[in-house]
Each structure stands twice: as structure tokens, then as C-alpha cells.
């Protein structure tokens, strides 16, 4: 375990089981449908890479960058799209891949953006859900794990662009960011 991590909440084994389970649900729901898997960068990259290798369907991938964090530990609430899709969302089924749903502000903004650009449907798969922090009424369609209201890192999740490479998800020690 990394010296800055207080404790592991999702081990490598647990993450592998979560990804396999989510992939099976997505395969069942999207069987026979063409869809675009859209990763919200940067945090979703590890989760999306693992998830897409477990889904035995044909689909396209694309990425978006939307941010409301900056360098802090809490959402600023102001969302901006830094990189939009390169594939048109018009009349397409979209599956957003998210690392964590926290306040829901960024994800809500992205969903509304895709719908306003003509997406046929928009669903969300998230690795982690932190409903205690929700500021908008948003429930992910697929959820790997509901987690406590702690600042987590690893498996793509970062603090100030660090810790993304940890193979597990752990709670970051408060002394690191306070």
C-alpha cells in the first residue's frame, strides 16, 4: 500500500469482479444495439480500458473532458467542456464511463450536453458512487460500488494528478491535502 493511502477500500480482486459484473449487465442491455462508449477523462481511463475488454459486443469509443475541480478536493460547481466528442452524438446510444459520481454536477452537465446534441439515449456506468455528496438528482444506470464520503485515489482516480497508477482504490490521508 502507498504511504499516502490510509486504507484500501476496493482491492484489485474486488475491482476485477466489479468490472466483470458491470460488463455482463451492459452486454445484456446493449445486445443488438450499436452504441458509443464515452470515457470522461482523465479519471475513467483505467476503468474504461478494463471494462471495454470485458464487453463482448461491437461498439465505438470516444472521449470527453469536462471539469469542475481544478486542483482541489471538492467540485467548484462550474462545469466546462474542454474536449467534446469527435463522433457525432446525433441519434446514437451513448454510454458514459465515469470513475466516480460525486456532486453529480459535471455528469449532469455532460448528459444534458449530449441530449441537446441529439443523442438517442444516454446512460451512465460509474465505478464508484458517492451519493452523500450529490447536489443534483442523478442516479447512475450501472454502479460498481457505493463508497463512503472520503477522498479516494487509485485505479485512475487522482489527487493533483498523482496516484492514478495505484492498482486499487484507497482513501487518501487527510494530511496530504489539508
Q: How many domains does the chain have?
A: 1
**3-class DSSP assignment, residue 127:** strand
Give domain status of residue 4, yes or no: no
For residue 48, the enclosing domain spans 12-152
Give domain status of residue 158, yes or no: no
Q: How many angstroms separate the CA atoms of 73 and 173, rounded?
A: 12
Q: How many angstroms separate the CA atoms of 6 and 174, rounded?
A: 9
Burial status of residue 107 (CB atoms within 10 A of its CB: 0-12, 13-18, 19 or more): buried
Q: What is the CATH number for 135?
A: 3.40.50.2020
Give domain status of residue 169, yes or no: no
Catalytic residue list = 102
Q: What is the mean pLDDT of residues 50-57?
A: 97
- What one-character-per-residue DSSP string does 14-64 give? HHHHHHHHHHHHHHHHHTT--EEEEEEETTTHHHHHHHHHH--S--EEEEE
R_g of the chain, CA atoms, integer Å: 16
Q: pLDDT tens-digit profile of 68-113?
A: 755 555 555 688 899 999 999 999 999 999 999 998 999 999 999 9
**3-class DSSP assignment, residue 143:** strand
Give domain status of residue 144, yes or no: yes
Check whether 27 has a pLDDT greater than 80. yes
The predicted pLDDT at position 68 comes to: 72
Check whether 52 has a pLDDT greater than 90. yes
Give domain status of residue 42, yes or no: yes
Q: How many angstroms separate the CA atoms of 28 and 30, rounded?
A: 6
Give domain status of residue 5, yes or no: no
Give domain status of residue 140, yes or no: yes
**What's the pTM?**
0.92
In 10 A of CB 94, how many CB atoms?
23
The predicted pLDDT at position 31 comes to: 95
Give domain status of residue 111, yes or no: yes
- What one-character-per-residue DSSP string does 78-124 give? --EEEE--SS--TT-EEEEEEEEESSSHHHHHHHHHHHHTT-SEEEE
Amino acid at each position: 500500500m502507498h504511504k499516502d493511502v490510509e486504507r484500501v477500500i476496493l482491492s484489485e480482486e474486488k475491482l476485477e469482479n466489479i468490472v466483470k459484473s458491470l460488463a455482463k449487465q451492459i452486454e445484456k442491455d446493449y445486445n443488438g444495439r450499436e452504441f458509443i462508449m464515452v470515457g470522461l477523462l482523465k479519471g475513467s481511463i483505467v476503468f474504461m480500458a478494463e471494462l471495454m475488454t470485458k464487453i463482448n459486443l461491437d461498439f465505438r469509443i470516444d472521449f470527453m473532458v469536462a471539469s469542475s475541480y481544478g486542483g482541489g478536493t471538492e467540485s467548484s460547481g462550474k462545469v466546462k467542456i474542454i474536449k467534446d466528442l469527435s463522433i457525432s452524438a446525433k441519434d446514437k446510444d451513448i454510454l458514459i464511463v465515469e470513475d466516480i459520481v460525486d456532486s453529480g454536477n459535471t455528469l449532469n452537465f455532460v448528459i444534458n450536453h449530449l441530449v441537446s446534441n441529439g443523442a438517442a439515449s444516454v446512460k451512465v456506468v460509474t465505478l464508484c458512487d458517492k451519493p452523500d455528496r450529490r447536489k443534483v438528482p442523478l442516479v447512475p444506470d450501472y454502479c460498481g460500488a457505493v463508497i463512503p464520503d472520503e477522498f479516494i485515489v487509485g485505479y485512475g482516480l487522482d489527487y493533483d494528478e498523482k496516484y492514478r497508477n495505484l492498482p486499487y482504490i484507497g482513501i487518501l490521508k487527510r494530511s496530504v491535502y489539508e
